[in-house]
Amino acid sequence: MSNHGLILRERGIESADIAQGTAPGLSDAPIPITSVLVANRGEIAARILRTVKAMRLRALLIAHPADAHAPALALADAVHWFDPASSPVSAFLDIASIVQAGRAMGADAIHPGYGFLSENADFARAVAEAGMVFIGPGHEAIELMGDKVRAREFVASRNFPVAPSAIEDHDPPTFLARAEALGMPLLIKPSAGGGGKGMRIVRDPAMLAEEVERGRSEARRYFGDGRLYAERYFERPRHIEVQIFGDHHGNIVHLHERECSIQRRFQKIIEEAPAPALSDALRSAICEAAAGIARAVGYANAGTVEFIFEDGAFYFLEMNTRLQVEHPVTEAITGLDLVELQIRIAAGVPLPLVQEEATCSGHAIELRICAEEPANDFAPSIGTILKLQMPPHVRFDAGVTEGSQVTTAFDPMIGKLIVHGRNRAHAIEQARLALRQVVLFGVQTNMPYLQRLLSDPDMIAGEVHTGLIREKPDLAHEPELDAELLGRLSALAAPLVPELRREVAQIPALHAALGGWRN
């Protein structure tokens, strides 16, 4: 069997084409799924729908009126709208409403995307009980591995390395004492969910109880589950994760590792594949450990096994039983469409490759472009997207388009810019070039900040760790611009703003003929 990633590249398909609806399918064989409902929003909804359309399946979507200008709407064959009176976030957590929408729209399958209900076992079970296919692992695997506490206990019982921790469920009345006994600093984490929500660093024992309550409240808000656990916080570790796939025929492969150490408040902002500065032996050991964990679970569909790595040792962190935000970098180095793999595996199709065929080529970097003000403690930036133009030959998975409103209702991520290079140095060069070519007006973004990060000597050398951003606060400060230069740049940019062009076009001809004359 030939490697499908190589087939895509040999046929002249760029990695940026994958998920843009132009890459060929993994197989022409029909599957018992003809329609897919995407139970999500933003850039991941659009990304999934592109693959659904490319597979010639019926593309269905649920949406909240807060996303009235979302790009995903134009890709859907049919849309079910939530009640505008409902909370935007809570609407995407309403299992009964989403399942009912799927049945009413005639969906054969539901793809949960990431976040929201993607790691909710009750949702996976409800979808199956309603006669639809859940595009992800079964509810049993989510209950085991989507629950961070049960996952750690399971992995430890199979003799894989796990960092010391204190689990609230073991004995809730003694949780604080057991957590404190691990030593400071501590990391408080929710048992369900991910994405940094509900996570708190505790350095002072006197603040432990207060931070636990804050973490519990946030976890309940985002995941409907306030259970917590604590683990010893590593100050300068690396965050390395491995993409795995399993099918319903007992086959497991890994699709190599990703480096996700560049994080701000537990949110990844730059991801890359493969991970830099790893020996071949360590790279192989981490990937094989991930595949071994998946085999022990009997895992089917896409998943990510995450590890903390420090001083040559790695420890199991958690398993995400879903597609990851950063999956495009794996697609870029393998040439595979991971969403199509998910759909075909959910339909019962065996994995199309064995481990020896899962080769990778070059280096990929993903930049999360967010509407925020780095110099103002990364405060959200809200407004209307007036102009959005991406450079050619890069992949941009966007959750907004021109005219979209950026509000505080959802995560501030505007989209993800993905580049691919022949090696890491070339990928960094491509990423910096792409950022300089992006045109985005209407909200302030973190793009200048990302430029500075990509120019940092430690980043260039691959000496990355999860504390790098915290140790370099000066990178968040915007350099002072000369007033004259700022005025010239503003004058150049102004004609690109549609609202200004419309105002100019509406000036009466008689007044326009006066030119720059004034009294």
Residue 487's pLDDT is what?
75
Tell me the C-alpha distance between 304 and 310, whole Å: 19
Q: Residue 167 in contact with residue 234, Cβ under 8 Å?
A: no
Tell me the C-alpha distance between 198 and 76, whole Å: 33
Domains contained in the chain, CATH given: 31-135 (3.40.50.20), 164-232 (3.30.1490.20), 486-512 (no CATH)
For residue 44, what are the contacts with CB-CB under 8 A and spacing of at least 6?
113, 114, 115, 323, 325, 397, 399
What 8-state DSSP symbol labels residue 162? B
DSSP per-residue letters across 211-254: HHHHHHHHHHHHHS---EEEEEPPSS-EEEEEEEEE-TTS-EEE
Residue 8's pLDDT is what?
39
Tell me the C-alpha distance between 232 and 239, whole Å: 15
Residue 408's pLDDT is what?
80
Residue 486's pLDDT is what?
67
Instruction: List the catalytic residues.
Output: 322
Segments of the chain scoring below 70 in pLDDT: 1-28, 193-195, 481, 485-486, 489, 493-519
At 497, the amino acid letter reads V
Q: Which residue in 221, 192, 48 sits closest to 120, CA to CA?
A: 192
3-state SS, residue 111? strand
Residue 19's pLDDT is what?
42
3-state SS, residue 476? helix
Residue 227's pLDDT is what?
86
